[in-house]
Chain A
Amino acid sequence: MNATNHDRTGRSTRADSAALSTALVATALYVTAVAAALGLSALLVMVADGSPAEVLRAMWDGAFGSRQAIGNTMVAATPFGIVAIGAVVANRAGLFNIGQEGQLTIGAALAIWAGISFPGPGPIKLLVALLAGFIGGALWASVASVAKYRFTVNEVIATLLLNFVAFQVVTYALNREFLLKPVFDAALPPQSGSLSPDARLPSIEPLTSIPAHSGILLMLFLVAVVAFVFARTAWGRRIDLLGHSPLLARRAGVRPARTGSMALAIAGGAAGLAGAVILTGAVFRVDPGFSNNVGWTGLLVALVARDRPLVVAPVALAFGAIEAGGNLLAATGVPRSTADVVQALVVLATVLPPVVLELRARRLATTAAVKAERVASVASLTVAREPL
């Protein structure tokens, strides 16, 4: 088969050079993007009458400067990672859930309700609260599933809008004493009661002498579980198949509504669990501002990790470091919000290159497809025109 041999050599060299140029482009893009982000951040700091070096120093100290700082980084990274690992599951099923803020809030509200009203010893209360958080988030995401698979409402729209509903529902509950408000007093701010100390996540300080709660272990465990699911289980394969070729998945017996709903429920459940972890590990009560953009940041972590489970953990820690580092900014005279801007710029710098690469790959693929089509028409003609 001459044609095939020719095919082999021709294509492999072309593929190699394409891969090499893609790698070069990728590196160049990342370097440029991160440099631009840091440059812009420095510029911003100078505009705010600060010194970039001083700010960098402060952020470093805030994130890694002491045991306490490292603990803060880990505490901040934990919910990011938990939200992100759930988002990975939905993303890989081809569903884009952007309702983490709402799912997290609902999860936390259900967790505090369960944690306060459930009788029993502390550890049981803690487990019940975490479970309630997961279930709350999962149910909230399932509203979007029903909208999608029964009424063909796009899940992006549904999950986004449910964020606003979740916020209103929780605020309502926080103002009603029969729900989450501890005592009836109109003058009190809308706020839940406090979780009893025995139902809180234990600290890892006795073991590691780093002051942080044990949520980070839960996060790492979940990352490992999801990584295993996608690498080694039939169910993970089906999720990937559904996300990459829904029609082939259907032919292979994957029920899109069932599998998709499950993936969305896991994504929502993870966000709800993240809410419960924040509650039981750091905040201990729920108020209307509880989610504090953790849902969005978690989604960004998944985006930056490009849906690879094992990458989620380091990315979450990096985002946690930026978050924790921002705490010491006030001492430099630069507003705390600068950290958010820096974070946003870093996200852009890490998110843009994959998008650009994707677009480039798509353009190359289109060119290749056009070429292939031309070759195809030529080939079919060749078949027809071969000498009689």
Chain B
Amino acid sequence: MNHTPASNSSAPSGGTASGTAALELLGVTKRFGPVVACSDVSLLVRAGEIHGLLGENGAGKSTLMKVLTGLFPPDSGEIRLSGQRVIVRSPHEAARLGIAMVHQHFSLIPQLMVWENFLLGERGSVNPGDARRRISSIGERYGLDVDPNAFVGDLTAGQRQRVEIVKCFRSDPRVIVLDEPTSVLTQAESIVLFDVLRRVVAEQQRAVVLISHKLDEIERATDVVTVMRRGEVVHHGATKDTDPAGLARHMVGRPVALGGERLALGATETVDRIGGDVERPRSVRGPGELALDLRKITVGAPNRAQPLLDELSLTVTAGSILGLAGVEGNGQLQLGSVLAGTQTIDSGSVFVNGTRVDLRRPGALARSGVAIITEDRHHDGCALDLSVEQNLNVFNLGEVSVRGVLDPAATRLRAERLIEEFSIICPSPDTPMGALSGGNQQRVVLARELSRNPKILVAAQPTRGLDVGAVEFMLDQLRQAADCGMAVLLISTELEEVLGLSDRVAVISRGRIVGEMARDEVELDEIAMLLGGSQRSSS
């Protein structure tokens, strides 16, 4: 097989029937309770090809790969390696069978040297010399240059990934799965990685599965592409026969599900709102005053090739919802932390209603009127060991106390009022927060934040992990908040949620805003392209 180099702009040839089947997944179905995460998924990966697996968050890519590497047993379907049926019970067994996985988050120990990390998980005696030799020979064969004696903590992200790849070659795998390998890499590092992968498939006739949501790298690096959406394969074909726009359409699909879901729940009026009916609150909301103004926020610049937030600028006006869409891991977490006041920034500034907020002062953002539903509520949203009442009375201690001494009647009354108002289900205000269900914990957080009468409400992945009823409640609350004149910033990886709720939509990619538009102007294809990392061409 003659492969053109990966860096060539024309799509590599390949994916033709010439290669033998290295890996076959036949009719794999995986259910969690009533939900089908993977529905009758079949995948054929040939030796000597790079197979792209494309899809949004929650499309079932990860579940499929977890089935493949033995983390989940499939409910039905089978896995074949070189035509032979195998049963993979654990990642160890997967490795033994020749399936290696490079995870998105590295499993290396920074305090150890490269060769020590290389040996982790192996049994028997430790032979440093042998380990170093093996690292060097793997490195030479594939162009993966790593120093066996370097401490992993001193390496760049790209070098660490090389260590991971070298490590996965330890067991001489037939199939190599890379999960979002470029999410931590710079453009240049990505190109080097694709060259390495190209060499691996071309010279060794191995098979590579490249999981990605980035359209350009799927186009550039893969021979064959399979697109998944909602647990099903929606497209399969040679990469050279596709174009980014087509792939994007397959990946995102049409955003009708949110409306449909509302309909199913009996909340018909929301469907009208989404449909652009005159009753839609948005039409009532005029162009409000500028409430939240982020200017050139940069986070994580000095230690990384790619900052986590890269001169991000964003504005939200009062009485409207700005939805920030984006694929997970493009800086949303850091943006949320900045707005929670728990992340230090390298440069940039935050203005609230025209006044600059001193981010170094604890509580400054909260005092200036920014409320936030944080992404990881257990981390910085609430204290699980403290009671519901204590969690509700956090920002208002000054109001419920006289010269520092609390008024127990006032704290309790307030807790009971909020429990009632937000339908929080708990035995008593003294119940520890940790004893509540996730949805009720989220309601406690929401109740606390909204009861401060904030000017700005930031909701970072507010519906993650909630059941349908709780999602509905949360979204309604956000809508009401905007109707009451708050500036709402909704950070979400659920595109449908963003489209269903927002007045304006912005897209974040690699820590930058790559496009922003009014909800009415949204073109699905364009959003999909932006999510895939392309810069908006025209404003």
Contacts and interface: CB of A to CB of B under 8 A. Distances in A.
Given A15-B435, A365-B434, A233 B406 contact: yes
**B36, B372, B405 — most chain A CB neighbours (10 Å):** B405
Given A1-B469, A234-B406, A384 B230 contact: yes
Given A234-B397, A235-B404, A7 B341 contact: no
Interface string B399-430: 00100111010000000000000010101000
A68 B214 CA distance: 81
Interface stretch (B73-81, B303-311, B387-395): B387-395
Given A241-B394, A247-B342, A250-B362, A234 B401 contact: yes
A372 interface: yes
B391 to A, nearest CB: 9
A250 B380 CA distance: 9
10 contacts: A1-B473, A8-B425, A232-B406, A251-B342, A252-B362, A375-B465, A376-B464, A377-B58, A381-B36, A385-B231
A376 B423 CA distance: 21
Contacts of A240: 383, 386, 390
Contacts of A244: 383-386
Interface of B: 32-37, 58, 230-231, 256-257, 260-261, 264, 340-342, 362-367, 372, 379-386, 390, 393-395, 397-398, 401, 404-406, 408, 423, 425, 427, 434-435, 437-440, 463-471, 473, 494, 496
Dominant SS at the A interface? Answer: helix
Number of chain A interface residues as a range: 35 or more
A193 interface: no
A247 B36 CA distance: 37
A386 B264 contact: yes
Contacts of B32: 374-375, 377-378, 381
Given A232-B405, A251-B366, 13 more contacts: A4-B439, A233-B401, A237-B390, A245-B383, A247-B342, A250-B342, A251-B341, A252-B362, A375-B32, A377-B32, A378-B35, A382-B34, A385-B257
A363 interface: no
A50 interface: no
Contacts of A365: 434
Interface in A213-258: 232-235, 237-238, 240-241, 244-245, 247-256
Contacts of A252: 362-363, 366, 394-395, 397
B212 to A, nearest CB: 20
B362 A379 contact: no
B307 to A, nearest CB: 22
- Give 4 closest A-B pairs by Cβ, nearest first: A253-B363, A376-B465, A247-B380, A244-B383
Nearest to B376: A247
B83 to A, nearest CB: 32
A380 B464 contact: yes
A232 B257 contact: no
Contacts of A253: 362-364, 366-367, 395
A30 B437 CA distance: 30
Interface string A344-388: 000000000000000000000100000011111111111111111
Given A3-B469, A376-B438, A377-B32, A385 B230 contact: yes
